[in-house]
A and B are shown apart, each in its own frame.
Chain A
Amino acid sequence: MQENNISEANLERCLKCNLCTLVCPMMEVNPEYPGPKKAGPDGERYRLKDPAYYDYALKYCLNCKRCEVACPSGVEIGDMIQLARIKYGSQAKRKGLLGLRDWTLASTDLVGSLSSPFAPVVNGVLGTKPVKAVLDGVLGVDSHRTFPAYSGQKFTSWFRRQDQSAFDKFVTYFHGCYVNYNYPQLGKDFVKVVNAAGYGVHLLEKEKCCGVALMSNGFAGKARKQGELNLASMRKAIAAGEPVLTSSSTCTFTMRDEYPHVLGLPNDDVRPSLMLLTKWLYGKIASGEVKLRFRKDFSMKAAYHTACHMQKLGWEYYSIELLRMIPGMELTVLDQNCCGIAGTFGFKKENYVHSQNIGSKLFASILDAGVNTVLTDCETCKWQIEAGTGLPVLNPVSVLAEALED
């Protein structure tokens, strides 16, 4: 790394090589998006001159960070674009009904808490044609999209009745909104795997949504407050000697890297202890501390999709290697492609076509692979790939849980 670098997000290191342009998934489908080089380091020079140069087409950035992974010079292109959107694009925050839509999509905790008790009703109503037509026509939520179903029982409610007192060592679980409100099964699988490794599970004293949806919808202030609360809770767990483990690559990436880079929340003390369960587990198995026993009759033909933020973390190796440890697992690792959904981005009517066009390459490669299941560490990739291929998509943690010997 170059020393004495004073520019934010390494702006001055951009050599204009355009390798970020090469990998940007949005540029392949949408000529209105200027691309990472122009939107990032080039545009930044203009914005520093006068904020009036801010280009509203930056809203098309998926924040997939594939530009940063491709950059040979360490320029934090994605961060630069995110920061510009927060700093200069706030006046672009939508008013009226589209504003209400963005706020609703971003408020995962509030909407989840309100919906869970009425899950059957909410799920039923959201799926009906007239409601979809209203969501599409009035609120701009594309009618092709189906909201992930709400679970009647929150994960935290289930967990409260689990006895973990038999264990003498513990990990702390950051479950995230999706596990809590929509898919508690993944949380149950997490507990099963951690228990099988000889550890008990604690939850954080307080947990809020990591804030990724708030950030991408223009609510950075609220995201920062939630981030502060999450970090404070994590510090307590880490002080008690427990790592904070997760099951979502995007929540993990947001709390490790976006907190300091985009929200300005220092987390150097938390970062080394905050990781995906698959990374922690791989380390425990590699060091010989943990040995998992798998069923002999397990069989699965699956394709592994590296989610964009998993790629940015650089941790897909751990999930892939753990999956390969399972006898009866026939695994194809897919080529690096974005699925196109990018969280709440793909739910918006104006983005739906781009989202599908980006995903089409990945869908085709999955269908070509001749598998019956797709595996990925990201929940929004799961929705997109299930809708795009018709195949079930599972988190590697759920597969490990299923393959464990009882």
Chain B
Amino acid sequence: MRFDAVVIGGGNSGSAAALALVEAGLKVCVVSEGLSLGVAGSAPASIATQQNPPYARLAELSAKGATVLRGDSAVSGNWDGLKLKSVVTRNLADMPLEADFFVLATGKFFSRGLLSDMEKIWEPVFGADVYFTPGRETWSDPDFFAPQPFMKFGVLTDKEGRVLFGGKPAENLYGTGEVLAADSKALDINKLISRYAGK
């Protein structure tokens, strides 16, 4: 199963990124573990122009020719060094999704884009670099209404929005939306389109 782009996550940011890619003529697959209300989000700028809530955007994506895997979830990746070759999903298991590039848009703690235990916070699909402060007592502020430190935690990227592994950027895995740390740079959708749409 080969696509130009595979977007992991069908929430606010994932569906908006996927829609922009489909409209640019790319062959896109979206893996959406359930629907999303998409109320929160540091979504790409294009989100402002989206009329539909993310769950309705999935139908729009299907209608525009994207492959939407509903109720499926990404389990792991197959790598060649720092190049992501394909993504394995729960439902399709033995037939991984291959693509030129991939977008990680799995959201934060609620959507389990980030998981935590007493000591650490991690990104479960690929094990990407995650920013968090050491010591669980530093993660939250007892003042409920204060800005909560854990909301700044998330996946780290380079200046092009490529996801970091051991401090080095993956060649073709980009991050966007809530899964990213507050200070991480999200993918630039227009740059991605101009880079891949002509190919």
Contact = CB atoms under 8 A, between A and B. Distances in A.
Interface in B124-169: 124
Contacts of B93: 272
A15 B37 CA distance: 12
A370 to B, nearest CB: 16
B188 interface: no
B85 interface: no
Interface string A309-329: 001111101000000000000
Contacts of A317: 1, 67, 69, 92
Interface of B is mostly: loop
Interface stretch (B18-26, B41-49, B110-118, B174-182): B110-118
Contacts of A70: 34-35, 55, 70-71
A72 B34 contact: yes
A229 B84 CA distance: 43
A332 B187 CA distance: 33
A2 interface: yes
Q: How large is the interface on A (under 10, 10 to 19, 20 to 34, 35 or more residues)?
A: 20 to 34
Contact of A68 (B55, B59, B67, B71): B71
A1 interface: yes
Interface string A324-354: 0000000001011000000000000000000
A336 B1 contact: no
Instruction: Kindly name the residue among B92, B93, B110 whose own CB sees the greatest number of chain A CB atoms within 10 A.
Output: B92
19 contacts: A1-B124, A2-B112, A19-B36, A19-B37, A19-B55, A69-B34, A69-B71, A70-B35, A71-B34, A72-B35, A74-B33, A282-B95, A283-B95, A311-B71, A313-B91, A315-B92, A317-B69, A333-B62, A335-B62
Contacts of B70: 69-70, 311, 314, 336
B37 A17 contact: yes
Contact of A72 (B33, B95, B124): B33
B133 to A, nearest CB: 22
A22 to B, nearest CB: 7
Contacts of A73: 34
Nearest to A70: B35
A19 B11 CA distance: 13
A22 B35 contact: yes
A313 B91 CA distance: 7
A23 interface: yes
A214 B33 CA distance: 30
Nearest to A2: B112
Interface of B: 1, 33-37, 55, 59, 62-63, 67, 69-72, 89, 91-95, 110-112, 115, 124
B69 A272 contact: no
Interface in A55-90: 68-74
Interface in A1-34: 1-3, 15, 17, 19, 22-23
Interface in A279-311: 282-283, 286, 311
Contacts of A314: 69-72, 89, 91-92
Contacts of A312: 71
A282 B95 CA distance: 10
Contacts of A19: 34-37, 55
Contacts of A68: 71
B36 A72 contact: yes
Given A314-B71, A317-B69, A22 B115 contact: no
A383 B115 CA distance: 45
A101 B55 CA distance: 40
Contacts of A272: 93-94
Nearest to A1: B112
Would you list the 4 A-B pairs with minimal beta carbon distance, nearest first? A314-B91, A72-B34, A69-B71, A19-B35
A72 B91 contact: no
A15 B110 contact: yes
A286 B37 CA distance: 36
A229 B159 CA distance: 58
Contacts of A3: 115
Interface in A115-169: none
A22 B55 contact: yes
A315 B67 CA distance: 11
A201 B187 CA distance: 50
A71 B73 CA distance: 12
A129 B97 CA distance: 53
A23 B72 CA distance: 16
Nearest to B92: A314
Contacts of A69: 34, 70-71
Instruction: Among B62, B95, B124, find the residue whose CB has the most chain A CB atoms closer than 10 A.
Output: B95
Contact of A335 (B1, B34, B63): B63
A270 to B, nearest CB: 14
Nearest to A283: B95
A72 B62 contact: no
Contact of B115 (A2, A282, A333, A336): A2
Contacts of B55: 19, 22, 70
